Amino acid sequence: MANTLLSQIQALGVLVDIDSMDAKAAESLSVSTTFHSMTSNQAIVNGQLQVQWDVNLEPLVSQYVQDAAIDISTEDGILKVLDLVTVLLASKVIPYLDKTGRVLVQTSPRIAYDKDATVAHAKALISVFGKHGISRDRVCIKIPATPESILACKELEESGIRTLATCLFSVPQAMAASQAGCLYIAPYFNELRVHFPEGSSSYIEYSDPVRQHPMSPIIYSIIQAFKERQISTAVMPASIITVDEAVALARLRPHHLTISDRVLALLAVAPGRSDDELAAVTLKVIEEKSVFDVDYLSNNAAALQVALPKDAETSRKIKEALEIFGRQEEESIQFLRKALSTNEA
């Protein structure tokens, strides 16, 4: 294999995941590399739904709606259809993953503050995967890291369903997720909004992101805390915009990096860098030791309920992320209703 920047990152011991449901991109990139897992969210599902509808999805989805007598005018009915779409898209990518890798799909943002509904949706997704020949040991459910949903993660983990805490921007969220037994956490390097036209102007490209980006010390602190406490939850930074950001995050030595197919394609052809440019860095841990040792889950996640409102930036980022994912989910719903109604006519 050529000594590319992507192969160098993997040689550091960082597992690389593909943050995409584009099976063609996964197939193309798999010629030169191996991905561990695939991650997704409502925005990724929405984009691929509209790209792949006519060729890969429409016949299977239409048949399902007919056979199961789904009423797509109801919220319950259309969300069942969207779950099927999510599983079908994931099933196209799983052949290009490591044999122990997982497909990761996200619960609905509209229920992010409802523990029982989040648990029910996660179990429904696992059921649909099973019906399509994908066992739960190849699936992980992404769940927004609100207090209620972190408690949902704990319940799901205890039932044998693996979880990832997403929409994660802070140490208390990370520690709570580890206490819930999550398989992964995905701290966002960039805010979700910068991936969309309406928020792209807020993106800042730092000349030295490992030292200048405001999320670098937060993610570093989480990684170090997990190592010191021998926490098994793996850190999988997400929301990576540039090649330099991928390199910066690799220098923090997380367990995984989940990277879009666009950035992966750039990394796969980028020439290798010097050892110094890829060397591990030491940053200042941002929180007092006591913050890492709080019991965030007891009394219905009372400590997390207190910690989040005190952190205005994290609260804003969670709120915005859930709103964006909610809009993307609603676009998918409207697309499906229109497409399936047209078929019926």
Q: Could you give the angle at the alpha carbon of 285 between the alpha carbons of 282 and 288, nearest 5°?
A: 160
**Average pLDDT of span 256-261:** 98
User: Is-contact 67 326, C-beta < 8 A?
Assistant: no
User: Is-contact 260 19, C-beta < 8 A?
Assistant: yes
Q: What tens digit of pLDDT does each residue of 178-194 get?
A: 999 999 999 999 999 99
Q: What tens digit of pLDDT does each residue of 44-84 get?
A: 999 999 999 998 899 999 999 999 999 999 999 999 999 99
pLDDT for 287? 78
pLDDT for 2? 62
Show which residues are catalytic.
142
Decide if pLDDT at 345 tops 70.
no
User: Is-contact 102 162, C-beta < 8 A?
Assistant: yes
* Distance, CA of 62 to chain centre: 28
pLDDT for 289? 84
Q: How far apart are CA 274 and CA 319, in angstroms?
A: 40
Q: What tens digit of pLDDT does each residue of 96-119 get?
A: 999 999 999 999 999 999 999 999
pLDDT for 167? 98
Q: Of 114, 192, 187, 125, whose CA–CA distance to 147 is shortest?
A: 114
Q: Of 168, 121, 203, 189, whose CA–CA distance to 304 is shortest?
A: 168
Residues in CB range of 207: below 8 A, 6 or more apart: none
User: Which strands make up the sheet holding 163-168, listed edge to edge?
Assistant: 103-106, 139-144, 163-168, 184-187, 234-235
pLDDT for 1? 46
pLDDT for 101? 97
DSSP per position, 134-177: --GGGEEEEEE--HHHHHHHHHHHHTT--EEEEEE-SHHHHHHH
Q: pTM for the whole thing?
A: 0.96
User: Is-contact 142 315, C-beta < 8 A?
Assistant: no
pLDDT for 344? 59
**Average pLDDT of span 200-211:** 95
Q: Of 138, 171, 170, whose CA–CA distance to 321 is shortest?
A: 170
List of E strands, 178-265: 184-187, 234-235, 256-259
Decide if pLDDT at 261 tops 70.
yes
**Average pLDDT of span 141-167:** 98
